Amino acid sequence: AQKVTQAQTEISVVEKEDVTLDCVYETRDTTYYLFWYKQPPSGELVFLIRRNSFDEQNEISGRYSWNFQKSTSSFNFTITASQVVDSAVYFCALSEWYSGGSNYKLTFGKGTLLTVNP
């Protein structure tokens, strides 16, 4: 069974600080995908990134970066120079191919509430 753990329930930082959100996953599959979603106060889920299990290259997109380490089953998310607009709940999610049902359902972590104070 797949599982995603986001141990940090809430993080509070001051604007311009760097912040890292942790994500640890469990899966028995060798092929899987990892995601990060942002949920602002308005409630929608905003897709940030998808990585497949064969691609351990770190990725940077503007102030966002992701560190994927299969050896520790972690997929951490760093926001550099945080801004008030980054305040949201961030979810890490895992997807395996479920051949029995022919679908890629997502298993989410419990989320980390990030508050960036001015």
Partner 1 sequence: EPEVTQTPSHQVTQMGQEVILRCVPISNHLYFYWYRQILGQKVEFLVSFYNNEISEKSEIFDDQFSVERPDGSNFTLKIRSTKLEDSAMYFCASSEGLVPEAFFGQGTRLTVV
Contact 109, 5 (CB under 8 A): yes
| Given 27, 36, 95, 116, the residue binding partner 1 (CB under 8 A) | 95
Nearest distance from residue 50's CB to partner 1, in Å? Answer: 6
> In whole angstroms, what is the distance from residue 14 CA to residue 18 CA?
9
Question: Across-strand partners of 74?
Answer: 24, 69
Per-residue x/- track, 5-34, partner 1 (CB under 8 A): ----------------------------x-
Q: Which two tokens stand for residue 46?
A: 């905003």
83 interacts with partner 1 by CB under 8 A: no
> In whole angstroms, what is the distance from residue 10 CA to residue 90 CA?
10
Q: Footprint of partner 1 on this chain (CB under 8 A)?
A: 33, 37, 43-45, 47, 50, 91, 93, 95, 97-98, 100-111
